[in-house]
Amino acid sequence: MTVVPPRTHAPTPGQTVGPFFAFGLGYPAMNQVVFPHSPGSLVLGGTITDGEGAAIPDALVEIWQADADGSIPRARGACRRDGHTFTGFGRAFTSDEGRYEFWTRNPGAEPGKAPFFAVIVYARGLPNKLHTRAYLPENAAALAADPLLASLSGEERATLIATRTPDGGLTFDIRLQGEKETVFLAY
Over 90: is that where the pLDDT of 75 sits? no
What dotted CATH number matches 20-175?
2.60.130.10
pLDDT number for residue 21: 56
Please write the tens of the pLDDT for every residue from 103-144.
Answer: 999 999 987 789 999 999 998 888 889 999 999 999 999 999
Of all residues in the chain, the percent with pLDDT exceeding 70 is 88
Please write the tens of the pLDDT for every residue from 27-72.
Answer: 888 999 999 999 999 999 999 999 999 999 989 999 999 999 999 8
Q: In the 3-class helix/strand/coil scheme, how is the chain assigned residue by residue? A: CCCCCCCCCCCCCCCCECCHHHCCCCCCCCCECCCCCCCCCEEEEEEEECCCCCECCCCEEEEEECCCCCCCCCCCCCCCCCCCCCCCEEEEECCCCCEEEEEECCCCCCCCCCCEEEEEEECCCECCCEEEEEECCCCHHHHHHCHHHHCCCHHHHHCCECEECCCCCEECCEECCCCCCCCCECC
Stated pTM of the model = 0.87
